[in-house]
Structure 1
């Protein structure tokens, strides 16, 4: 029985500490032993594993421990009456379970672990002297023990651990399931990785599935001759892909609402656990207004403070956006135009291909510098929460990548109007960028893991002065996970995680195939194959090559939806211009029937793009019905509870009950 219970324990958090040189006969309060003891005091299950050069404390938590931590955090969870209420462990049956049957989602469990691990503080009346390898330091009153050990470098890292049973199941049903093409176990992905990762893969799968239509249309254009109707083919293709894109994003919004309803997530709640206002964290129970009143401000002072904060935020965002725009104009634009001009001048196709490869490699470094600058700039913006900071970062960095990805193509289309060169550039950009990104995404994590493993073993041999014949192996699974790279963004993981780069790659691909669709329709077919590969390689990367990501809450794909909508509008304008240049070979720009028809078509498509959202609601009818039903049920329960309070011995609102 004990063995069966031991096998059911799932260690979800790992804590890394260096190995110690134990000095016998010397009495000291070893900080690692104290840390383990404190973990057990708060109800955690602790298991220590010895590695090559470090020790690992694996941590698990019974359901009751997580439940009481959630109650202490005043976590709000959906109930069976349709309301999100503060969690109480004693009333656990009133709360709705997750789709996989568990009480807490992975994001909620991780928050509970964070609360338990970092909530261990010194509650004594004086500081405590701790020791590690002969080094002494003080644990002050009210200070978090884990943060103190992190500041001393004793705790190297705290990271989530993979659940080996669920990981292997996802490998079989997701990463290695090539026959399913775009089908994915989204509910299992949500249970294991959280909302943000699940929404990304749901979006990628639906996007790839919908792309089969324009890809099939493009193949028909490539291999069939329409004779005298050939001049109608490109306008028909242009209209169809714009309608396809508008339909897709509207129906994706409906899919997004359906997923949130299935996962019992209130879509009106932001992703952040709190926000910063007037320099104060407002994720607590007290509102910002109450905090201001504590300082003794009157109404006029409060109004002035809020207005000053609001306009200062607008000014800081305007200043930062201006810095990014000027850096693009002064630094990036000349570089992009130089590359485009050299590409037009060079005659050898091999040299052109090599120039494109070198350009893409150099520009990646340049834009990453711009991304890191953007991260520093948004620190001085008064964004309301982490989600708004992430959106601000996305807009700034995408502006840099937009210029470096498309300015050279605009150069060929606008100035030279050379469609042969334009198709060649598009093909090379798509092929080189897709191959380069896939190689980097899948090879770099593997190389980083092996390099860290090699350094660990080499340093161990040097420390112990072992001979080359003595072999040291990394055997523990927790140590192997520690050596894997984190799922972080190329511009840093302070605001965003690795999904930033995945969404950026997808947005740049979408812009490439949409804005120049009339010049290179076959790009849709290449993108379908690339995205099918992307689904499986991203899944394999997350499951086998990376640490388990820290869960991040989200309800949508964030600022990316606005970027995709912007690219649709851009594609209407650019494809209309491409059609004009195709049919106006003499370049006279006369308002003839063909040109007038293209301009009318452009205005109709723009009107349809902005008007279609009014015709098809974003929220499905069954989701609205469930929400209304839950609201009605909650109102009835609250009304009954109020009546019970009124009929009791004491009246809450009308004073005490009269006695005869």
Structure 2
């Protein structure tokens, strides 16, 4: 236990290669890299536990709460206080800061940030370089260089990754991943405490989305099972109106829930308002040339180089336009002909076996194509002038989704518009939604299992035939740290550092949402299949995170980010495509004359566009209690910064008077 009453556990692991020594009893030199690293970690106040495993040597690292507190102060972390404002953390005023829902002082993201600051903050503060050795390798530890970073570059440190908390992991397995009786219920606060805000927001969104899917699923099933008699011709238009209205209200209520979650977790509660006022204060104070007592920074009265800033701004905009044009050009000139060729060959092929073979070849080819497109998008955003990691991640989402949008829907558009073959369209919807999502779930859960077992087999096989191992026949993985080291990390399939595995999970949801929304009138029961798939997806994703993968590195994001714009775009596309489907359907079956039918459907389209852009303002994006607290905290923050400004100006004027 630490001074704050919290358990101090080993949460980070440093992996180094096993020594290539002739005998286990050989003495390790004093300037050995690993020995030096352990000593420096302990000097920094960290708790280190080391042992030699089968695949490598491991250093488990823990930290007393006071050490994490001082690291948080050095990082100038903003935390919510009991007066409702987010202020810079100070260890001396620790009792003033609000604790997490689980009672801990820091969130998982804050703790991991402090750990990284402590680990990579160990630098050579001497006046000369230090010569270190590792086996027969000599390493030069330069002045003012990070020790851990240098060891990573030299290959002495293989990996640094967060470690699962076994007690909390088993508790979440029992209450969440293996709890199939509660359907969509999830312990969101516990997920937030263990995985961080970004993963917790994803599962909160997935759970709410799945619960709301029960309504269109029931309506869609009724359209197939119930005979409405002479009112049958109104069923599909009514279903169309209901689905679009459902989607609009769902996302408005999701925004409300997301803002409530942020308030409950103490994230961005008043930070944006404080930052705006702080920038206003600093801008006004520049005219007085005073020293800011908070940042201890001298403000000069030099004019801002407006032309240089504007030039950088417009160059960044032009680079982004150029990169977007490259992506659009690639979609139109490369992917579009490929997709249309597949759709045409599928339509003219009469033998069902050949159709399945053609689809299999198409899916294999498109996987490589989209993977290449994702890597191109990653390389493009590196030369953009994006403001921070979130902006770069959003740019990546838009570019990659453009590739997947064309891949997933162009064949369906082809059959719906060119051939008006609704029977084939329904078959393709069932095939792509059911078969593809079932296969994706099997693949995304089986690949980590296969990867882990393969790495485990190779590590044991290598140790078994190691000449220097006297107990080679009985070798096995004895600790959970070794097992976690061999497990794959939670990463995106495109291999980007900007996004973790949630990129693929959100992409899967967005493609599913687009398919069920844009072709809702062609096959209304498709919502039932989506509901069943998502009920399985909740538990499968939870099991994957808790049992098959390493503990993910926490991310600061607390919303679904750019994906919200993707979903909103798909709603607008759904209005257009379903209107076109209704025209094709009623014209082909002869139940309406095309002239009045077309006028009625166009009227419905305009009404739904009004619903989309008008009713989205009908439901407030944040609950009233969140808004009231935010306004109250904004007033408190304004008073605080006003007093700070007045004190600073007074001191400056007194100094001039002296």
Q: Please, what TM-score do these two structures have when normalized by structure 1?
A: 0.91
Q: Note the alpha carbon deviations across 1:5-40, whole angstroms, 9 max, x for none.
A: 999541000000112245746744111011111111
Task: Indicate yes or no: 2:483 matched with 1:484.
Answer: no
Show the counterpart of 1:253: 255
Q: Distance in 2 between matches of 1:452 and 1:237?
A: 51
Partner of 2:415: 412
SS of residue matched to 2:50 = strand
CA distance in 2, matches of 1:641, 1:221: 65
What residue is the counterpart of 1:401 in the other structure? 404
Is 1:203 matched with 2:205? yes
Residues 364-375 of structure 1 aligned to structure 2 (within 5 Å): 364-375=367-378
With over 3 angstroms needed to count, the CA separation of the structure-2 counterparts of 1:609 and 1:129, relative to structure 1, is same
Query: Equivalent residue of 1:16, what SS?
Result: strand
8 Å Cα contact 2:6/2:104 also seen in 1: no
Distance 2:188 2:371 in 1: 31
| Deviation of the 1:587 alpha carbon | 9.7
Aligned residues: 632
Tell me the equivalent position of 1:113: 115
- Alignment correspondent of 1:542: 545
In the alignment, the residues of structure 2 paired with residue 292 and residue 631 of structure 1 have an alpha-carbon distance, to the nearest angstrom, of 26
CA offsets 1:431-454 (integer angstroms, 9 cap, x no match)? 221111111111000000011111
Q: Distance in 2 between matches of 1:532 and 1:263?
A: 26
Q: Provide, for residues 122-168 of structure 1, a one-character-per-residue CA deviation record: whole Å limited to 9, x for no partner.
A: 01110111011132121011011001111110100000000001101
Taking the aligned partners of 1:182 and 1:513, their CA distance within structure 2 comes to 20
CA RMSD of aligned residues (A): 2.9
The residue aligned with 2:281 is none
Q: Distance in 1 between matches of 2:166 and 2:398?
A: 37
Q: Which residue of 1 aligns with 2:19?
A: 20
User: SS in structure 2 opposite 1:104?
Assistant: coil
Which of 29, 44, 51 pairs up with 2:53?
51
Mapped to 1, the partners of 2:645 and 2:96 lie a distance apart of 19
Residues 109 and 556, structure 2, Cα contact 8 Å, conserved in 1: yes
> Are 2:469 and 1:470 equivalent residues in the alignment?
no
- In structure 2, stretches of 5+ residues that fail to align are 276-290
The corresponding residue for 2:219 is 217
Equivalent position to 1:436, from 436, 439, 443: 439
Deviations 1:539-569 (A, max 9, x none): 0000000010000011310110001000000
Runs of 5+ consecutive residues of structure 1 not aligned to the other structure: 274-284
With over 3 angstroms needed to count, the CA separation of the structure-2 counterparts of 1:591 and 1:427, relative to structure 1, is closer
Q: CA 1:27–1:489 in 2, change beyond 3 Å: closer, same or farther? A: closer
Moved more, 620-629 or 410-419: 620-629
Whole-angstrom CA distance in 2 between matches of 1:468 and 1:431: 50
Pick from 382, 394, 411: which aligns with 1:379? Answer: 382
Please report the TM-score for the alignment, with normalisation by the length of structure 2: 0.91
With over 3 angstroms needed to count, the CA separation of the structure-2 counterparts of 1:103 and 1:26, relative to structure 1, is closer
Find the partner of 2:81 among 64, 79, 82. Answer: 79
The equivalent of 2:10 in structure 1 is 11
2:553 aligned with 1:554, yes or no?
no
1:591 Cα deviation (Å)? 6.5
Change (3 A) 1:401 1:67: same
Relative distance call for 1:26 and 1:390 in structure 2 (3 A) is: closer
Structure-2 separation of matches of 1:170 and 1:237: 39
In structure 1, C-alpha distance between the alignment counterparts of 2:312 and 2:240, rounded to whole Å: 46
Q: Which aligned pairs between 1:181-580 and structure 2 lie closer than 5 A?
A: 181-266=183-268, 299=304, 302-464=305-467, 470-580=473-583
- CA drift of 1:225 comes to 1.4
Matched, 1:620 2:620: no
Give the 3-state SS of the residue equivalent to 2:493 in structure 1: coil
In structure 2, C-alpha distance between the alignment counterparts of 1:7 and 1:77, rounded to whole Å: 18
Partner SS, residue 159 of structure 1: strand
Note if 1:126 corresponds to 2:125: no
Residue number in structure 2 paired with 1:38: 40
- After TM superposition, the structure 1 stretch with the greater mean CA deviation from structure 2, 323-332 or 445-454, is 323-332
- Residues 1:623 and 1:412: Cα distance change in structure 2 (over 3 Å): same
Q: Decide which of 597, 600, 604 is 1:601's aligned counterpart.
A: 604
| CA distance in 1 between partners of 2:474 and 2:27 (Å) | 32
Which residue of 2 is the match for residue 179 of structure 1?
A: 181
